[in-house]
Structure 1
């Protein structure tokens, strides 16, 4: 696409009534449902990894390829060009097309017969989901004033624990009652049904209307965004911190069902109930607490945005370590519930901070660059890392290999805390608006 095409005027601003509180609730509900479906389709593979591995005869490394690089390859590399379009064209329509694509490939996953077909379907899901998040961040920033954005983004991020829990519960139930193939088909069809509903409920808002920044709606070239970000060290530190914690976050989300099945002999239905309920409750509380704390403390000092999750990670590491080495199942569940909440507290504060290190007209692109770094490392490397490390440790530790790979992975939370601490020292200077 030529630079001339990319510089076309943005859609005209919508009238003021669209930002009335009642309508904003409707918009948030629609965005939340789409994000929930995003994580249903993303997380369902983890709970179904055990029956898929058995039927298709896969190794942990192959499972790591499916959960990591197969999904992350196109998901990360397409996110930036799609976000460039979202900074110029209708973000709502881009999200609707993306939802249709990833839902279609999810449904198609139920028809695969060999590893390479499953790999291609996961790549297709990644292609669709590439346009599902960065445009949503930008929409939320244009529907909610800056003093509410961390909480608004936290509410949107509830889609992560809700979608993960639903994927685990629904996938586990359908796979137990029928088979794993039907679980993919049902989830994919649900997303396709949501496409027209989303288009009806959500309209394109005026860009930057809630920010006191002149020229907020004027699109800018990618080079200009990179120049501005190049002068904002806090952005790169926030991105590095998010990527580091996502290595562990995505890794644990994918491998925890296999860990419980192997280490504690749990059946698929029991694993889905335990993890689904824990993810829903702990994840939601953790995300909300992080957003509320950041909005309250961030008004006094911008450093609070990265410091809140940094402290949360430092508390989570020893709790997770004790939970992984515990032999009693209920002790494992108790010890891992709080760090699950702490591990998701970063979403509201960090995403809100990223929205404020650039002008409104650059938010979708800046978010896409942030997500590129976060997801390429977190999803692309994290899930594969645990699977490959488990296979590497297997000759020495046997069935305990996955347990030790998860303990080693906790070092990524410590690295993330360090990056967020360094970002807290730069954020005040880099803040826009």
Structure 2
């Protein structure tokens, strides 16, 4: 595939991924007005923001990815984009907890077909020594989409209402679906790999391969542990800023949106670049880079959550936000490289199943549950302490990634 074609694939899929996370994360900045309007508890907010989305997002991801290893990945991604955007718009019409819960489940149904096929398509559009950076650029969609969801969600909700925020961003995503369908070329599977094959593997074959690759499971569960706090913080930090620092909706959207954008972009690119450098001679470098970043993030987050001034809070949360997202480029690149090309979408979906079911489904709910449980002791600061205790998951993530680093060279697929 020509370089210009690969760049076009990456640019358009990045745009789709921005809307993926915009629609996914907009609910975080809208949590407080939704809670007030619908009379929800923190536990219900956590279920709506996490489990409602994760149930179908994780469950449908594997069969859709199995299909993507056989059929047009471009078509699957474009249809998925239209579905998740439509259900995001429907969130704006919810009148109670269960209606909103079901609409968020619909968003998860749509997004189930977006990410794993994109990983595989990008991996087939770039040579192996560029995949860490290419997947890092694709992962820019996480901080950009999250920041835009926070910025626009907060602005629209403060000037109109939270319902309009869902409707407007959902409809905007619908207009992007035709660009994905007709603007992204379908890359040959394994076009940049030594052993190229178009024969799709069965789910059982993928399972047999992965059963012999312990590094895959170590990376999957390590990423899941990091995502418990990654998704949990992304959902709950705006509420923390409201309760512990008294920021109004617009101020906290600007404050946290800026942290998510600057810290996220810097961290994702840094991780992808360092991963390709460290992994050039030793595949284990793709796992060691994120592990060290997780360990550095723990004390910085802890101090930032207790900082007395907003300026110090901003600076101390900016750096660990970058460190916490540095795993995306190298971690996902490593996942792509432990299986043959014709298994990449399915393997990615299995990885995402583990990562997101635990990260989104458990993490967002867990921090809300802990906050409710500690409310009698800590009052308005219960959410702060919930997040502090949750940082232990980064220690678990670092341990699993360092263990994976010792196995990656043996598990690496070389054709």
Does TM-score exceed 0.5, indicating one fold? yes
Give TM-score scaled by structure 2 length. 0.99
Deviation sequence 1:316-336 (CA, Å, 0-9, x none): 100000011222221111111
Q: Take 1:289 and 1:328, find their aligned partners in 2: how far apart are those partners?
A: 28
The yes-or-no answer on 1:392 pairing with 2:376 is no
Identify the match of residue 424 of structure 1 among 401, 405, 408: 405
Partner of 1:142: 124
2:277 to 296, 315, 322: 296
CA-based RMSD of the aligned residues comes to: 0.7
- 1:273 pairs with 2:273: no
Q: Aligned-pair distance for 1:129?
A: 0.2
- What are the within-5 Å matches in structure 2 for residues 321-360 of structure 1? 321-360=302-341
Residue aligning to 2:111: 129
Q: How many pairs are equivalent?
A: 414
CA distance in 2 between counterparts of 1:198 and 1:134 reads 15
Q: Is the Cα contact below 8 Å between 2:91 and 2:103 reproduced in 1?
A: yes
1:206 counterpart SS class = coil
CA–CA separation in structure 2 for the residues paired with 1:87 and 1:66: 31
* Structure 1 position 28 matched with structure 2 position 10: yes
d(CA) in 1 for partners of 2:291 and 2:70?
Answer: 35
Residues 335-376 of structure 1 show CA distances to partners (whole Å, capped at 9, x for unaligned) of 111000000000000000000100000000000000000000
Q: Match for residue 97 of structure 2?
A: 115
TM alignment of 1:3-402, pairs within 5 A:
19-214=1-196, 216-402=197-383
Residue deviations 1:384-424, cap 9 Å, x none? Answer: 00000000111111111101000000000000000000000
Give the alignment partner of residue 412 of structure 1, picking from 370, 374, 393.
393
Aligned equivalents of 2:282 and 2:338: distance in 1? 15
Residues 285-331 of structure 1: CA deviation (Å, up to 9, x unaligned)? 10001000111111111111010010001111000000112222211
Q: Which runs of 4+ in 1 moved over 3 A?
A: none
Q: Gaps spanning 5+ residues in structure 1: where?
A: 1-18
Q: Which runs of 5+ in 2 are unaligned?
A: none
C-alpha distance in structure 1 between counterparts of 2:375 and 2:12, whole Å: 45
Q: What secondary structure, in the 3-state scheme, does the structure 2 residue paired with 1:217 have? A: coil
CA contact (8 A) 2:92 2:163 kept: yes
Q: For the residues of structure 1 that align with 2:194 and 2:96, how far apart are their CA atoms? A: 55
In 1: Cα distance, 2:290 partner to 2:192 partner: 27
> d(CA) in 1 for partners of 2:411 and 2:236?
37
Rounded Cα–Cα distance in structure 2 between residues aligned with 1:20 and 1:222: 31
Structure 1 distance, partners of 2:289, 2:201, is 32
Deviations 1:55-84 (A, max 9, x none): 111000000000111000000000000000
The 3-state SS of whatever aligns with 2:190 is: coil
CA–CA distance in 2 between the matches of 1:327 and 1:189?
40
Cα deviation, residue 209, structure 1: 1.2
User: Residues 215-255 of structure 1, C-alpha deviation per residue, up to 9 Å, x if partnerless?
Assistant: x2111110110001000000000001000000000000000
Deviations 1:183-229 (A, max 9, x none): 10111011100011111111211111110114x21111101100010
User: Is the contact between residue 140 and residue 265 of structure 2 (CA under 8 Å) also seen in structure 1?
Assistant: yes
What's the TM-score once normalised by structure 1's chain length? 0.95
